[in-house]
Amino acid sequence: MKKLVLFFTLLALAAAPVKAQKVCAHRGYWQCQEAGYAQNSIASLKAAQEAGFWGSEFDVHLTADSVVVVNHDPSIAGIPIHTSTYRQLLGARLPNGETIPTLNEYLHQGAKSACMMVLEVKPQDTVEATLELTRRCVWQLRAHGLLDPERVMFISFSYDACKWIAANLPGFGNQYLEGVVEPEQIHADGINGIDYNWVAFHKHADWVERAHALGLTVNVWTVDSPEEMKYLKDLGVDVITTNRPDLAVELSN
């Protein structure tokens, strides 16, 4: 009986996602085996949650009538988000048939598991609009019981948004995208992480050690091969964000 229990324990460990490094699904759980998942859809988030990965990244924009919606691009089906009302966007469909989800709808699904919500604040037309988007995200996270550093972290290409989060939510994960600002300056501004894409990472691989010396976390995204993921794992990168979350299972075996 003990041997049987040990066998199933080892089997479960072999199938588990990577624990040493945190593996995050890029824009939900898209570009994996199931072709029906659209990026930034409720269906893709649900799939990421059910797969048991550490986190799921998603992007937010603000409509002309101040509704926060989840979408990567500043337009959907050719309709610009920033200058359209949410009602005007309802006719558009994601590739899997969903309407563009509001942040409220997305967080309703997000609250159903312990999967980290990695919220990317997209730069808007003005700094003030970007900060308004950031504030509205915080309000809605609080309303869903997700304004907790164990449940949500923030990333953004907007340095202003990252500085606002650092000033108002100092205990939360807060990573500046692309790594164009050196770790020492990021640390001085209270931001606590750097987020590179895979191509930019190669220009600044030495920043991992510098960032860690300052207590900053490092995330690398668009990682799409087992070799890339193993390289980053060996280097000690904190979060690996992939378009193919199924690779995390390969890496763990």
How far apart CA 220 and CA 239 sit, in angstroms, is: 7
Residue 249 — very low, low, confident or very high, per pLDDT cuts 50/70/90?
Answer: low
How far apart CA 9 and CA 102 sit, in angstroms, is: 40
Is pLDDT at 5 greater than 90 in this prediction? no
Is pLDDT at 14 greater than 60 in this prediction? no
What integer best gives the mean pLDDT of the chain? 86
Is pLDDT at 213 greater than 60 in this prediction? yes
- Predicted local confidence at residue 216, as pLDDT: 95
Write out the two tokens for 47: 């799939």
The DSSP secondary-structure symbol of 253 reads: -
Instruction: Give per-residue pLDDT as tens, 101-131.
Output: 999 999 999 999 999 999 999 999 999 999 9
Q: Are 176 and 158 in contact (CB under 8 A)?
A: no
User: What superfamily does domain 20-252 belong to in CATH?
Assistant: Phosphatidylinositol (PI) phosphodiesterase (3.20.20.190)
User: pTM of the full predicted structure?
Assistant: 0.87
How far apart CA 188 and CA 180 sit, in angstroms, is: 15
Q: DSSP labels for 192-221? A: -EEEEEHHHHTTSTTHHHHHHHTT-EEEEE
Residue 35 — very low, low, confident or very high, per pLDDT cuts 50/70/90?
Answer: low
The pLDDT > 90 percentage for the chain reads 60
The pLDDT > 70 percentage for the chain reads 88
Instruction: Give per-residue pLDDT as tens, 165-193.
Output: 999 999 999 999 987 889 999 999 999 99
- Find tokens 């990244």 and name the residue: 57
Helix (H, G, I), strand (E, B) or coil at 83: coil
Query: What residues does each domain of the chain span?
Result: 20-252
Strand partners, 60: 70, 121
- Predicted local confidence at residue 252, as pLDDT: 54
Is pLDDT at 214 greater than 60 in this prediction? yes
The answer for 52, left when phi > 0, alpha when psi is -120 to 50, beta otherwise, is left
Is pLDDT at 77 greater than 50 in this prediction? yes
